[in-house]
Structure 1
Amino acid sequence: MKNFKKYIGLSLSVALLWSCTYDAPEQVEPNSGTADFSKVVAVGNSLTAGFMNGALYDAGQSTSYAAILSTQMQLVGGGTFNTPMTGSTVGCYNPSEGCTAGRLVLKGLEDPTPSPTVPGDPNALAPYGGDKGALNNFGVPGITLATALTPLAGAPADPANPAFNPYYARIASNPGTSTIIGDATTAFADGATFLLFWLGSNDVLGYAIGGAANEAILTSEGDFETRFNGALGSLLQANTSAKGAVANIPNVLSVPFFKLVPWNAIPLDAATAAFANSSYQDYNDGLAAALALGEIDQAEHDRRLVEFVEGQNGFIVEDDELTTADISAAYGFPPGSVVLPNYRHAESTDLVPLTAGSVLGTLQDPNDPTSVYGVGVAMGDQYLLTPAELSVIQSRTAVFNQTIANTVTANSDRLVLIDIHSILEDLAENGTVINGSTLNASVTPPFGGFSLDGVHPNSRGNAFIANKFIEAINAKFNALIPFANPNDYAGNALPIP
């Protein structure tokens, strides 16, 4: 083989010597094309902020997709990109609980599940001490379009104010009066030349992550269109010469948050399965009564029957889509006296949020060994996405993305669409190879592109996304922004001992 290569090389050398001319490949210098990146303003949620591993902290912020993208833009005349750094190395995993825990890590080889570090860093939520008027990154974790437009997001914390967001409160120009879009618009009007806009994901993903248990947080189609156009429109009107890139909403099936905990996560031996079944005998008898009374049909009876077996089992969950069966008549009681709980086993068509992993198998009562969540005690509806709920989520996502596409098309002279929905779907289905190194849509080291919270990319994943922005921006504006090398950015660390 070596000799073959040598002869090929020799033949090529002779051919070049006998050729009349040889033109070396033209070296093309990076350039900004018809765009100007001297002042970039980024507006978005946690994906823009650099939130990863369940927390906001320096390592994530400095390698957000927006930070990486701005670094590449600096090679074609881009300016400084100021991010409101927390100054924290671990961040705050649980703001509502006093930041007692920090970012997620992998526990160890014997238990490779994400776990929050202890202690957390309350200073990660302290007011930003830098110049708020010089900020370029207005990415705020947890923000929906509605909360991006209301001053309540930065108002003092109050149980009566569900819109309060501690991540915005720390950077708000005037807490309680200013808004995220208002602050970003001010920055954009002050000489900005390019906009990165990625808002709207939480208008559907927040509902999905919560197991579709709170319908109030799923934005309606009409409200989304009004709010999206209002938010983006205010920025575009503030600076009519600036251009930008707008990203759409990912598919929930593209993120590992719904793939890390299996539906059949309950392993039982024969004796334990038999014991568990005995505790549901009354419930199963009630199902038979409901069938006899015509409260449910045979198919629902069979679906709801609790039957643990030796091996892996679907955990028990309370599903509010099941029929509310009144079986009072079977016992001679007045109507409404005996109502059957809506229990069933989780099924292969269900999606299980990562949050279920911290509850499944634990005890409701530390003194009662039979009170195991998922076996003796049913899991709440928030720990499961049913096919019907998933259908609603995907349908709403499609409508929202059409709104985003329509708005970009209406401003096609200034904006380019970044189809993150398709990009992450392809990554989830096929993975990719970058400079010889694999990247996939998982949290597994070393090739996973998502951080340990299962929703947000890690640094390497953010570099991959930044390159997708660059690809679209270059094509739209005839620019030649150099691509980042995702392999230069950290993935997830191996489990700690």
Structure 2
Amino acid sequence: MKNLYNKILISTFAIVALACSSEDDLTEDWIEVNEVEAPAPGTSGDLDLSSYIAIGNSLSAGFADGALYNQGQENSFPNLLAGQFAVVGGANFNQPDINSENGFNSTFSDIDNGVIAGRTILDLSLQAPVPTTGELIGSYSGDKTTLGNFGVPGMKLGDLETPGYGFPDVGNPYFTRFAADPNTSSVLGDALAVDRTFFTLWLGANDYLGYALAGGQGDEPLTAYSSTDFATDLGSALTQLTANGSEGVVIDLPPVVTLPFFQAVTWDAIELDAATATELNDGLAAVNTALQGTLSAGYDDSEDIARRLISYSEGDNPILVHDEELVDLEPYFDNLEAGMAITAQERAALVPYEQSRPLVDGELVLLSAGAILGTEADGDDTEEDTPIGVVIPLGFSFTEAANGDQYFLNSEEQTAIVTARATYNGAISATVTSLNDAGADIALVSVQPLFVDMLGLDAATATALALPTGSADGVQGIEVDGVTLTPDFAPNGVFSTDGVHPNPRGHAIVANEIIATMNARWNASIPSISVLEKLGVTFQQ
């Protein structure tokens, strides 16, 4: 049982070991093997690329591996685009450099106890992402008047015009560090103060991603911001950005439930041998008996009780979770004790199962659960095992205030996320069309076909996720120069180790999608980026 966590990680991170002794050796070897000739110069066509600005969230900022750090910024898709723009006469691109090798990782940091974590890397010996030593978020000391990248991690579309969004100790610290005046500036206001002839805007994903990352707890992120408000805010921003005649690109929103963060740990990640399964079933038999006993103690939903029963077998088994949407069986367990069907001690042992059930196929487990599954809920190494997700429900805490189902998404929550994304994408498309009809010159780049192709979705699955079916070939991965790149954070993956943000290869793929659209719309021949020249996931042995 104590090896369960390692088994989960090994099955979660299917990693191929490479003969590299360190991260630096890997970088040097990769660059040496994958050197390519410089692309032939192209033309900017009908575009003026002399001054480019990018507006967005963490995707535009270059946030990756759970942190904003040097290498991530250098490989952000706006910075990669600017490099290709320079080939056709574009000017230098000024980013608000973080000047940190590893950045700051809020997930793994414990500031009160002096633990400052940085970006995560894949440790091949553990076959899991592990944090590096990081630094607190520092201020940008460069020239704020010529900034080009206004990507702010965590920013929602509705935050774009918020004055004082970077207000110290209250606002977004990633904007505080480079805002012209953190007390009064808005992100859009600072961006509009910079000369621009071309822009990219990629915003809106955080308006439903936050709900997904929280395991669907609370519906405020999905209901408070209507599609009408979304379209109004987007239209306002784009109207101001194009008022001086600038052309631009707007990127639509990705299907976040398909990201590795929601796919790496499966619903049936509890791998057991026959002997352990039998031992667990014997130990949990009293729980099943009490659950069934509630039907004679005032509870009248036999179907609900049936889905709560726990049964393990050899092989892969569903994770046992706390589900706060279930009817609380507390009063019915109390009735069993009052009727002397169970003792006070037995009643106390039933507390974790008042709102628990095994997951079912189709439910999504968050990557953050991977570090918890199989660990001891009681926090000790006594002979009595209490592994989380097996004996004690994932999400349950012996401190009542900490209970919650923040580690998985049920089907209803997934549907809400898919619907929100589809609704916002509809607003994006309609807003861009309306502004173009009024004389603007904005190209819409859709990343949705790319996801369908890379994920290898069939037409039925793509339709269920409100995605286009044109590229639904059922074959996972995309081929780039003879190499198949996968939708994960394995060595040939295109995502960073946080399971949400692209790695350098992923950013290069996005940049190439944008370049292809620009070339077609504006008669340009901007050269594409060599994807395989970029590093994939960073790891060490």
Tell me whether the two structures share a fold, i.e. TM-score over 0.5: yes
For residues 377 and 403 of structure 1, the distance between their equivalents in structure 2, rounded to whole angstroms, comes to 43
Contact 1:36 1:193 in 2 (8 A): yes
Structure 2 residue aligned with 1:303? 307
Q: Which moved more, 1:67-76 or 1:259-268?
A: 259-268
Q: 1:358 aligns with which of 365, 371, 380?
A: 371
Structure 1 residue aligned with 2:434? 410
Structure 2 residue aligned with 1:108? 124
Structure 1 residue aligned with 2:185? 178
3-state SS in 2 of match to 1:244: strand
The offset of 1:34, in angstroms, is: 2.2
For residues 29 and 459 of structure 1, the distance between their equivalents in structure 2, rounded to whole angstroms, comes to 23
Contact 1:221 1:396 in 2 (8 A): no
3-state SS in 2 of match to 1:55: coil
For residues 517 and 223 of structure 2, the distance between their equivalents in structure 1, rounded to whole angstroms, comes to 28
For residues 193 and 219 of structure 1, the distance between their equivalents in structure 2, rounded to whole angstroms, comes to 36
For residues 91 and 300 of structure 2, the distance between their equivalents in structure 1, rounded to whole angstroms, comes to 65
The offset of 1:233, in angstroms, is: 2.1
Alignment of 1:118-267 (within 5 A): 119-122=133-136, 125-151=137-163, 153-157=165-169, 161=170, 164-187=171-194, 191-218=195-222, 220-222=224-226, 224-238=227-241, 239-267=243-271
For residues 480 and 209 of structure 2, the distance between their equivalents in structure 1, rounded to whole angstroms, comes to 28
Q: 2:411 aligns with which of 387, 395, 417?
A: 387
The offset of 1:426, in angstroms, is: 1.8
Structure 1 residue aligned with 2:358? 345
How many percent of aligned residue pairs carry the same amino acid?
A: 38
Q: Which moved more, 1:373-382 or 1:339-348?
A: 339-348
Structure 2 residue aligned with 1:439? 485
The offset of 1:431, in angstroms, is: 2.0
For residues 54 and 455 of structure 2, the distance between their equivalents in structure 1, rounded to whole angstroms, comes to 26
3-state SS in 2 of match to 1:286: helix
The offset of 1:91, in angstroms, is: 1.1
1:67 aligns to 2:55 (yes or no)? no
Residues 310-353 of structure 1 show CA distances to partners (whole Å, capped at 9, x for unaligned) of: 332222101123233441545558xxx99961111122211111
For residues 165 and 314 of structure 2, the distance between their equivalents in structure 1, rounded to whole angstroms, comes to 50
For residues 298 and 362 of structure 2, the distance between their equivalents in structure 1, rounded to whole angstroms, comes to 27
Residues 396-445 of structure 1 show CA distances to partners (whole Å, capped at 9, x for unaligned) of: 11101101111111122411111112322222224222222222211110
Structure 1 residue aligned with 2:322? 318
Q: Which moved more, 1:95-104 or 1:483-492?
A: 95-104
1:420 aligns to 2:451 (yes or no)? no
Structure 2 residue aligned with 1:9? none
| 1:359 alignment partner AA | I
For residues 145 and 529 of structure 2, the distance between their equivalents in structure 1, rounded to whole angstroms, comes to 29
3-state SS in 1 of match to 2:493: coil
3-state SS in 1 of match to 2:63: coil
Structure 2 residue aligned with 1:33? 45
Q: 1:184 to 1:97 in 2, by over 3 A?
A: farther
| 1:383 alignment partner AA | Y
Alignment of 1:458-469 (within 5 A): 458-469=503-514
3-state SS in 2 of match to 1:411: helix
Contact 2:119 2:131 in 1 (8 A): yes
For residues 31 and 458 of structure 1, the distance between their equivalents in structure 2, rounded to whole angstroms, comes to 28
Alignment of 1:51-66 (within 5 A): 51-66=63-78
The offset of 1:46, in angstroms, is: 0.6
Residues 17-70 of structure 1 show CA distances to partners (whole Å, capped at 9, x for unaligned) of: xxxxxxxxxxx9722222211111100011000111111111110110111111
Contact 2:234 2:431 in 1 (8 A): no
Q: 1:45 to 1:221 in 2, by over 3 A?
A: same
For residues 293 and 416 of structure 1, the distance between their equivalents in structure 2, rounded to whole angstroms, comes to 63
| 2:304 alignment partner AA | E
The offset of 1:462, in angstroms, is: 0.6
Contact 2:51 2:198 in 1 (8 A): yes
Contact 2:234 2:428 in 1 (8 A): no
Structure 1 residue aligned with 2:536? 491
Cα RMSD of the aligned pairs, angstroms, is 2.4
1:372 aligns to 2:387 (yes or no)? yes
For residues 448 and 354 of structure 2, the distance between their equivalents in structure 1, rounded to whole angstroms, comes to 38
Count matched residues: 452
For residues 454 and 288 of structure 1, the distance between their equivalents in structure 2, rounded to whole angstroms, comes to 40
Q: Which moved more, 1:299-308 or 1:242-251?
A: 299-308
The offset of 1:459, in angstroms, is: 0.4
For residues 306 and 161 of structure 2, the distance between their equivalents in structure 1, rounded to whole angstroms, comes to 48
| 2:106 alignment partner AA | N
For residues 152 and 174 of structure 1, the distance between their equivalents in structure 2, rounded to whole angstroms, comes to 8
> Given the two structures, how large is their TM-score scaled by the length of structure 2?
0.78
For residues 473 and 225 of structure 1, the distance between their equivalents in structure 2, rounded to whole angstroms, comes to 28
For residues 273 and 428 of structure 2, the distance between their equivalents in structure 1, rounded to whole angstroms, comes to 51
Q: 1:468 to 1:126 in 2, by over 3 A?
A: same
Give unmatched runs, 5+ long, in structure 1. Answer: 1-27
For residues 373 and 55 of structure 1, the distance between their equivalents in structure 2, rounded to whole angstroms, comes to 28
| 1:89 alignment partner AA | E
Q: 1:419 to 1:291 in 2, by over 3 A?
A: farther
The offset of 1:360, in angstroms, is: 1.1
Structure 2 residue aligned with 1:453? 498
| 2:272 alignment partner AA | L
Q: 1:216 to 1:30 in 2, by over 3 A?
A: same
For residues 113 and 225 of structure 1, the distance between their equivalents in structure 2, rounded to whole angstroms, comes to 42
| 1:33 alignment partner AA | G
Alignment of 1:273-312 (within 5 A): 273-292=277-296, 295-312=299-316
For residues 230 and 364 of structure 1, the distance between their equivalents in structure 2, rounded to whole angstroms, comes to 45
Structure 2 residue aligned with 1:471? 516
Structure 2 residue aligned with 1:400? 424
| 1:355 alignment partner AA | S
3-state SS in 2 of match to 1:197: strand
Structure 2 residue aligned with 1:13? none
For residues 235 and 101 of structure 2, the distance between their equivalents in structure 1, rounded to whole angstroms, comes to 33
> Given the two structures, how large is their TM-score scaled by the length of structure 1?
0.85
